[in-house]
Amino acid sequence: METQNYNLICGIEIHVELRTASKMFCGCVNDPFGAQKPNIYTCPVCLGMPGALPVANKKAIEWTIRIGHALGCEINLFSKFDRKHYFYPDLPKGYQISQYDQPLCVNGLVKTEFGDVRITRIHLEEDTGKLVHQEVNGEKVSLVDFNRSSVPLVEIVTEPDIHSPQQAKAYAKKIHQIIRALHVSDADMEKGSMRLEANISMQGIGDREQGILPQYKVEVKNLNSFRFVEKAIQYEMKRQAELLEKNETPKQETRGWNEAKQHTFPQRSKESAEDYRYFPDPDLPPMRFTREYVEQLKKDLPELPEATIERWQKEFGIKENDAKILADDIEHKTVLDVLWSTAKDRHVDTAKLASLLVNKKIIVDFGISTYIEEALTAMEVLSSTMTIANDVLIAAINEVIAANPKAVVDYKARKTAVIGFFIGAVSKKLGKVDSNQVRNAVQEMLR
């Protein structure tokens, strides 16, 4: 394997669309995925009309700071918006309002089971419109919809601390979980409200010892599932290592992931010449925060998944794995908390209850107000069925034995296949039964 001679050097950029009610720089509805028609959520500002001026959304700024806190960042007490220039039909003003040298958050840290990932910066910007490629009257054209134009977009950039595809996946999952816990975005990768890009290069083992960094970087875009991130990085590692083995330097370029063909492919760059000509946006006064304000936002953070998992283990004795799975369901965190407390008060085994929920032995509709009673009753029924069943089961088996003496003879003659007959016969009497339970009972009784 060529990759053995190289180490992966990878940084990840994650874009998250915030689900504020209105857009980043205007009062238009922020619901690009819910829009029934194109170009129905626009105004002079997000259409980039002559003379229109942006005004920044306070909540989007606060939410970005929240994300910064959740990812262990320092919050810059002074921050501003800058214009980033390039031409593309989905970018109405010919520039994107973004943040260049003074982003809202810097220097964070995210722990994964495969190692720590440092966060370089988190900044706030506006999303572009959306392009649809289509044929109209036999002519190939591109159609532009500005419903998404100027939706608040947060970009989270890491240091090149990711050293395996598994770590990349774990990092992405963790960010996804935290963003969802903060209630600031749907972070739906399929729809595109969370988007991933990986900057990938390979460093020779020898270079690493001498501290020589790779002279190139391949950016892979459009990674819209956790699995794709892992696979794309695996693919790139192999592709780049093969080139390096031949003493070729991989081309610095942007590539996409093709799921059908299971490979990355070069993408045409949006701008053939990248020179963004950043400068501070004169239309938007800068932001200055007091330490108290920033600290208050930190205090107001909801409990993050890691803390929830730990607390559920400690307070309710829930098994770590079950806690992890259940804590992932951010929408139901609060109802689960109430459920655990109630169960604990009534001396119900919360660990068992959690396992039953995880294994779908109990299915509860958390949407209804009586969910607690429903869950606890379901658990009671399940538990009682299992204990009482033993008496009922023995009686049933005795009936089967009495009616089928030959089967008993067969069984004793080591024709063990006859056990299936017993299971079937008992099922006929009692309905659906646990076959293992029947098997054990029959074996015990006929020993």
Partner 1 sequence: MLLDLSLSELAKGLREHRFSSVDLVNECYDQIEKLNGTLNALITIIPKEEALASAQKADKELTPDASPLFGLPYVLKDSYVTKGIKTTAASNVLKDFIPQFDATVYTKLQQSGAILIGKANMDAWGHGASAENSDFGPVKNPWDDTRVSGGSTGGCAVAIATRMCAFAIGEDTGGSIRNPSAWCGTTGLKVTYGRVSRFGCIAYASSFDTVGPMAKLAEDCAIVLQAIAGVDPFDASSSPQPVEIYNDQLKSRKKLRIGIAKETLQEGVDTEIVTAVELAKETFKSMGHEIIELSMPLLDFGVAVYYQIAPSETSSNLARYDGVRFGGGRDLFTDENKRRIMIGTYALSTGYADKFYHNAQKARTLFIKEYEKAFSKCDVLLLPVTPFHAPRLGELINEPLKNALADRFTTTQNPVGIPSLALPAGFSSEGLPIGVQLTGPMFSEHILFQLAQQFQEKTDYHQRKPKGIE
Partner 2 sequence: MQTVTADITAHIAHLANLPLTPDQIEKYAPQLNSVLEYTQQASMLSTDGVAETSQVTGLENILREDVVERSRMFTQEEALSNAHRTHNGYFVVPALLQE
Residue 381 interacts with partner 1 (CB under 8 A)?
no
Q: In what order do the strands lie in the sheet with 74-75?
A: 74-75, 105-112, 115-126, 152-158, 6-17, 194-204, 218-223, 253-258, 263-266
Residue 287 interacts with partner 2 (CB under 8 A)?
yes
- Binding-site partner at residue 132 among partner 1, partner 2, none, CB < 5 to 8 Å by type: partner 2
Number of residues forming the site for partner 1 (CB under 8 A): 29
Work out how close the CB of 382 gets to partner 1 at its nearest, in angstroms, rounded to a whole number: 59
**Cα(362)–Cα(375) distance, rounded to whole angstroms?**
7
Residue 286 interacts with partner 2 (CB under 8 A)?
yes
- Binding-site partner at residue 51 among partner 2, partner 1, none, CB < 5 to 8 Å by type: partner 1
Residue 49 interacts with partner 1 (CB under 8 A)?
yes
Q: Are 152 and 193 in contact (CB under 8 A)?
A: no
**Cα(337)–Cα(422) distance, rounded to whole angstroms?**
44
**Cα(152)–Cα(59) distance, rounded to whole angstroms?**
10
Residue 78 interacts with partner 1 (CB under 8 A)?
no
Q: Of 35 and 392, which CB lies nearer to partner 1 in the complex structure?
A: 35
Element (H, E) at 123: strand 115-126
- Segment near partner 2 (CB under 8 A), from 16-24, 190-198, 298-306, 434-442? 16-24
Q: Are 298 and 72 in contact (CB under 8 A)?
A: no
Interaction residues for partner 2, span 104-163 (CB under 8 A)? 131-133, 136, 139-146
Work out how close the CB of 121 gets to partner 1 at its nearest, in angstroms, rounded to a whole number: 20
The pair of three-digit structure tokens given for residue 387, joined into one six-digit string: 């204990």
Residue 197 interacts with partner 2 (CB under 8 A)?
no
Residue 286 interacts with partner 1 (CB under 8 A)?
no
- Binding-site partner at residue 299 among partner 2, partner 1, none, CB < 5 to 8 Å by type: none
DSSP string covering 209-270 = HHTPPPS--EEEEEE-SHHHHHHHHHHHHHHHHHHHHTTPPPP-EEEEEETTTTEEEE---S
Element (H, E) at 179: helix 165-181
Residue 345 interacts with partner 1 (CB under 8 A)?
no
Q: Are strands 6-17 and 152-158 parallel, antiparallel or unpaired?
A: antiparallel
Residue 95 interacts with partner 1 (CB under 8 A)?
yes
**Cα(249)–Cα(260) distance, rounded to whole angstroms?**
27
Q: Of 49 and 382, which CB lies nearer to partner 1 in the complex structure?
A: 49
Residue 282 interacts with partner 1 (CB under 8 A)?
yes
Q: Are 163 and 115 in contact (CB under 8 A)?
A: yes
Question: Of 51, 211, 405, 431, which lies in the binding site for partner 1, with binding defined by CB under 8 A?
Answer: 51
**DSSP conformational letter for 414:** T
Q: Using CB atoms within 10 Å of the CB of residue 2, give its burial: 0 to 12 exposed, 13 to 18 middle, 19+ buried.
A: middle
The pair of three-digit structure tokens given for residue 313, joined into one six-digit string: 């283990």
Residue 40 interacts with partner 1 (CB under 8 A)?
no
- Binding-site partner at residue 145 among partner 2, partner 1, none, CB < 5 to 8 Å by type: partner 2
Element (H, E) at 376: helix 371-403
Residue 111 interacts with partner 1 (CB under 8 A)?
no
- Binding-site partner at residue 358 among partner 2, partner 1, none, CB < 5 to 8 Å by type: none
- Binding-site partner at residue 327 among partner 1, partner 2, none, CB < 5 to 8 Å by type: none
Please name which of 180, 446, 162, 167 lies closest in space to residue 303, comparing C-alpha atoms: 180
Question: Of 115, 206, 285, 424, which lies in the binding site for partner 1, with binding defined by CB under 8 A?
Answer: 285
Residue 102 interacts with partner 2 (CB under 8 A)?
no
Question: Of 6, 41, 95, 228, which lies in the binding site for partner 2, with binding defined by CB under 8 A?
Answer: 41
Question: Of 5, 44, 298, 428, which lies in the binding site for partner 2, with binding defined by CB under 8 A?
Answer: 44
Note the residues at the interface with partner 1 (CB under 8 A).
Answer: 43-44, 47-56, 83, 85, 87, 89, 92-95, 144, 146, 275, 277, 279, 282-285
The binding site for partner 2 (CB under 8 A) comprises 20-22, 26-29, 37-44, 47, 55-61, 87, 89, 94, 131-133, 136, 139-146, 222, 256, 267-268, 272-273, 275, 277, 279-280, 282, 284-288
